[in-house]
Each structure stands twice: as C-alpha cells, then as structure tokens.
Amino acid sequence: MLLSEALDFLNRLQEIQAQFREVGYPNVEEKGYFSVIRWHEEDIKQALINQGYLSNRQNVKKVLESRTGKTLQDRSVEEGWLILEDCLVDVEGLQARKNKNS
C-alpha cells in the first residue's frame, strides 16, 4: 500500500509540474525557485465576503479587471522578503558571515 501511494504522489507531482509549465510558471527544479503562490477566483470571492461585499461574478470580474493583481504581486514580493528573512532565525546551523559587508 505504501509503495502505491508513493507512486500516486509522484505521478500527481509530475502532473502539477506540467500544469505549471502550461500556464507559464517556472519549473521549480530547473531555475532554482522554491515557492510559487497562485491565487484563484475563489480567493477573491472569500476576500470580498471578508470585506463585506457580495461575492458575485460581477464583483469578481471588477476585481480581475482592476490593478489588484499587479498590486498583489508587487506587495507579495515586498512582504515575501520580510517573511523570508524572518524565517531564517528558525533555520538551525546557518553559518554567519564574519563581516556583514562581505
């Protein structure tokens, strides 16, 4: 049973990688990327609900046609740097530079 589950997982992983390539996401293994965030229309619907708006098709379309996607991408990168650096304190065994300017 364990072997078949592992094979199913590997097959699914290959399918996901193929989907990423189809939509233009980088191949994580080839280009050194380790994290890709994908937002879905369902996420917009939930955000609309959370902020007191109707989660109907008209509102989702307005969000998709706005600058929201670019803003989300830009801010995610900015915040991502802070998050990545904050996470470093939890990594055991990192070697520190002797001089921070080197």
Summary mean pLDDT of the chain = 84
Q: Over 70: is that where the pLDDT of 93 sits?
A: yes
Q: Over 80: is that where the pLDDT of 24 sits?
A: no
Q: Over 90: is that where the pLDDT of 57 sits?
A: yes
Q: What is the pLDDT of residue 28?
A: 52
Q: What is the pLDDT of residue 4?
A: 80
> Residue 61's pLDDT band (boundaries 50, 70, 90)?
very high
More confident residue, 41 or 26: 41
User: Taking the complete model, does pTM exceed 0.75, yes or no?
Assistant: no
42 vs 14: CA distance, rounded Å: 25
Domain limits, the chain: 1-36, 39-90
Q: Average pLDDT, stretch 54-80?
A: 93
Q: Average pLDDT, stretch 40-56?
A: 96
Q: Over 60: is that where the pLDDT of 102 sits?
A: no
